[in-house]
Amino acid sequence: MKSAKILWIDDEVDSLKSHILFLTNKGFSVQTVSNGYDAIKIINEIQFDIIFLDENMPGLTGLETLEKIKEVTNSPVIMITKNEQEHIMEDAIGAKISDYLIKPVNPNQVLLSIKKNLEFSQLINHKTNLIYQREFMSISSMINSVESPNEWIELYKKIVYWELELESLDENQMLDVLLNQKKDANNNFFKNVKKNYHKWIEQDNIIMSNNLFEKSIFPVLSSNKPTFFLLIDNLRYDQWKIIQPHLDPFFNIDDKLCFSILPTATQYCRNSIFAGMMPDEIKHSFPSLWLDDHQEGGKNMHEKDFLSSLLLKLEYQSDFSFNKIFNNDHGVKLLDRINELLNKSLNVIIYNFVDILSHAKTDLKMIKELAINDKAYRDLTLTWFKNSPLFDLLKKLSSHDCNIIITSDHGTINVSEPSRVVGEKTISSNLRYKTGKKMKFENKDVLWVQNPQNFRLPSSSVSAAYIFASPNKYFVYPNNYNHYAHHYINTYQHGGISMEEMMLPLVSLKSKL
């Protein structure tokens, strides 16, 4: 910043001598011109780091000069004026000035404005990295001591917060440190789930797939307002956090986390949400509607039936709509029905785009290159959301008094380490969990469930078991091992155990009306 070039445009140049001397002593190079015409001429010849512009000048006014400056340079412009009229400020801000100073200005105000505009990124980088360094020991301590589901939620929120903060910096030298902490946390999470999951599913104070509807949706159905339950398939908490700022202007947001059941796969999690049951109970209660992994057919074809049964059990008798959105056209058509939906007590909307995106990364080379890491994957999700009918729907709903709850059925994780599995042909095909008989595997890579009933999972046969992959692992058969190991590396998969797959956003939106 010491060698920064400054242009000061003011018809009373002589009155600026003390300011120019102050800035020169600070190491800046300052040039002055007394009118807008000379300013435009010199800006076309010299690249300035920052420009100070007097608003009230004869001939070409400050605002007129500003318009012409913006046509030829992106340098930050600081408007200086005696006029505090609101419309002048609005015009200047609308023309994208970088700062606004009211006369008389003192040299320190000028210096602060320069620092804010020329050193802002550097100052933010330094401060953010410094604060994270202070947090490092606290996060490490949490990783080593965390046990309860609520403690895991607190830790995961903190890790996601710092991941998004550090990756937003131009100089994020601490990001690799944080990602190593995240890896350690995931390994401990896997061990903790391995040890305690059978207890978690029996606890009434943990919101999981099987009790999510009864605990979080049903209580608001009696509020005499339409309720919109939006389930975005495969939406991770970090993806939600980059979407949230775009909804902040429209809603008051209550941001929580809930847990997915195992396996973290649509067939199990989403059916569990709408049936209000664990998978073994669904199979027992609806034997004609449940398909085991090895059976042919759609595994999520009867969610509306499951929900109807759950609402009957909860003694909810009002009509509801059930909508699945698979593409943009479906979303637009739903948007056209908004008045119809507002007349129903409950509207369930399932959006499948994020799930489609994660599978596309596996199958399409272009998507694989676009989503090379978690940051790129989040950016793709945000691009979709900002241009989606879902965003339009939420903005329209923000002008109505209604309940809106957003969640997901499971998350996903970027896998990087293949793990060998051997078994019979009937073993399920998912890359992050397997169920079947006579499976052989690397013990360190899996949670092995010999008795599925302990995890409230259905058995396809007497000797069938389940295995769930640890973070970053994906299962590959020995046949053509190298081909499939290469094909699936650095793709987004789900079904196993990780913070990203199991800890999900559970968000309530209230209009700011």
pLDDT tens series, the chain, 513 aa? 457 899 999 988 888 888 989 999 989 999 999 999 999 999 999 999 999 998 888 889 888 898 899 888 888 899 888 766 555 556 555 556 778 788 888 888 888 888 888 877 677 787 888 889 889 999 999 999 999 999 999 999 999 999 999 998 877 889 999 999 999 999 999 999 999 999 999 999 999 999 999 999 999 997 789 999 999 999 999 999 999 999 999 999 999 999 999 999 999 999 999 999 999 999 999 999 999 998 889 999 999 999 999 999 999 988 899 999 998 899 999 999 999 999 999 999 999 877 667 666 666 566 667 778 899 999 999 999 999 999 999 999 999 999 999 999 999 999 999 999 998 888 998 999 999 999 999 999 999 999 999 999 998 888 899 999 999 999 999 999 999 999 999 999 999 999 999 999 999 999 998
Provide the β-strand partners of residue 503. Answer: 259
Please check whether residues 101 and 167 belong to one and the same domain.
no
- What crossing angle do the helices spanning 17-25 and 107-118 adopt, rounded to 10°? 50
| Count of domains observed in the chain | 4
Q: How far apart are CA 314 and CA 39, in angstroms?
A: 73
Please check whether residues 495 and 506 belong to one and the same domain.
no
- pLDDT, residue 267, reads 95
Please check whether residues 382 and 320 belong to one and the same domain.
yes
CB atoms within 10 A of CB 454: 11
Range of the domain at 326: 217-411+502-511
- Closest C-alpha among 39, 33, 49, 55 to residue 102: 55
- Closest C-alpha among 109, 242, 66 to residue 167: 242
- pLDDT, residue 91, reads 56
- Closest C-alpha among 276, 294, 293 to residue 285: 276
CB atoms within 10 A of CB 137: 9
Please check whether residues 264 and 394 belong to one and the same domain.
yes
210 in any annotated domain: no
- pLDDT, residue 513, reads 80
The domain boundary, picked from 59, 86, 118, lies at 118
Please check whether residues 319 and 423 belong to one and the same domain.
no
Please check whether residues 113 and 188 belong to one and the same domain.
no
- pLDDT, residue 251, reads 97
Provide the β-strand partners of residue 256. Answer: 506
Own/partner long-range contacts of 420-427 (Cβ < 8 Å, ≥24 apart):
420/475, 420/476, 420/477, 420/478, 420/481, 421/467, 421/475, 421/476, 421/477, 422/477, 422/478, 426/294, 426/460, 427/294
> Buried b vs exposed e over 155-167: b needs ≥16 C-beta within 10 Å?
bbbbbbebbebbe
463 in any annotated domain: yes
Please check whether residues 398 and 422 belong to one and the same domain.
no
For residue 102, the one-letter residue type is I
Q: How far apart are CA 445 and CA 161, in angstroms?
A: 28
- Closest C-alpha among 463, 455, 492, 415 to residue 194: 455
* Cα 227 from chain centroid (whole Å): 23
Please check whether residues 357 and 471 belong to one and the same domain.
no
- pLDDT, residue 59, reads 87
Please check whether residues 394 and 459 belong to one and the same domain.
no
Please check whether residues 292 and 240 belong to one and the same domain.
yes
- pLDDT, residue 95, reads 52
- pLDDT, residue 89, reads 58
Report the sign of the C-alpha dihedral through residues 37, 43, 48, 50, in that order.
Answer: positive
Please check whether residues 402 and 431 belong to one and the same domain.
no
Please check whether residues 388 and 420 belong to one and the same domain.
no
- pLDDT, residue 292, reads 92
- Rg over alpha carbons for the chain, rounded to the nearest Å, is 29
Burial class (CB in 10 A: 0-12, 13-18, 19+), 144: exposed
209 in any annotated domain: no
